[in-house]
Amino acid sequence: MSNDCRAAGLPVAIAQFTVAREPERNLAVIDEFVRDAATQGARLLVLPEGLIARDGDDDAFAAAHAQPIDGAFVAGLKAISTKRNITLMGTVHIASLEGVADSRVSNVFLVIRGGEIVATYRKLHLYDAFSAKETAVVQPGTKMPPIVDIDGWKVGVMTCYDVRFPETARSLAVRGADAIVVAAAWVRGSLKEYHWKLMTAARAVENTCYVLACSEVSHRNIGCSRIISPLGEVLAEAGSNSPELITANFDRNALESARQTLPVLHNRRFADPQLR
């Protein structure tokens, strides 16, 4: 199928699941979700934050089990993407990142397609909030997140706490993003589910972009993954207690109609050059 044909629509999916302590188990779970998503025709599968290893009772566990970017876990993701012919997005904790002189690890968003890493992004906004201190073990990125092309659709990426900073999403929108992906491990707590739903919808409406927001689900993290239209309609939503695959289809006509009806990107009067 040509890119011109695919650009009219894009089938997408989100895999919400509990990240285990064992990397090999997580790769097996991801492979099953990728198989199911590909069977349903998805061209993009979004995964949670911190895919290598997690322990819901130990905030530092994911960083402590970081691997090199050329290590076994990322190699496993590459192999899965090759086998299933689908673009994968999610974050991993990476140790010893080339060119970065810091003993802390990096929380790296990966875009993998055809067995290759086609884009990376180091999480900008680290979760030093609600009594957590991500900066103790993770070093922040320094660059705005990238936009990748998937079958003619421009898709930008963000990681978890980034969603609380609207300038990050606005940067993606003004650089041409049609959709924004958020990979997260959104911690449970008072009003936290409300914040997640409010802000993921807000990032869609204020930028007239599709939003795919995936959170890990566990006794610590809320799940509630969702796919939202450019006008804020929830197209698909997962629950808060169990693994789930949700799907939707991006529609080019719906995107263009939203931007004609609500031309916020055109009407804005003050442009910050740093957002580019």
Euclidean distance between CA atoms 182 and 161, whole angstroms:
9
- For residue 178, give the nearest of 5, 1, 2, 10 by alpha carbon: 10
Active site residue 133: no
Take residue 217 and report the two structure tokens written for it. Answer: 């689900």
Contact 211, 12 (CB under 8 A): no
Take residue 42 and report the two structure tokens written for it. Answer: 């998805």
From 78, 134, 160, 216, active-site residue: 160
Active site residue 5: no
Angle of the 166-174 helix axis to the 192-207 helix axis, nearest 10: 30
175 contacts: CB under 8 Å, gap ≥ 6: 147, 156, 275, 276
Contact 230, 218 (CB under 8 A): no
Phi and psi for 169 in degrees, rounded to 5? Answer: -65, -40
Active site residue 244: no
From 78, 123, 216, 224, active-site residue: 123
From 5, 22, 32, 49, active-site residue: 49
Catalytic residues: 49, 123, 160
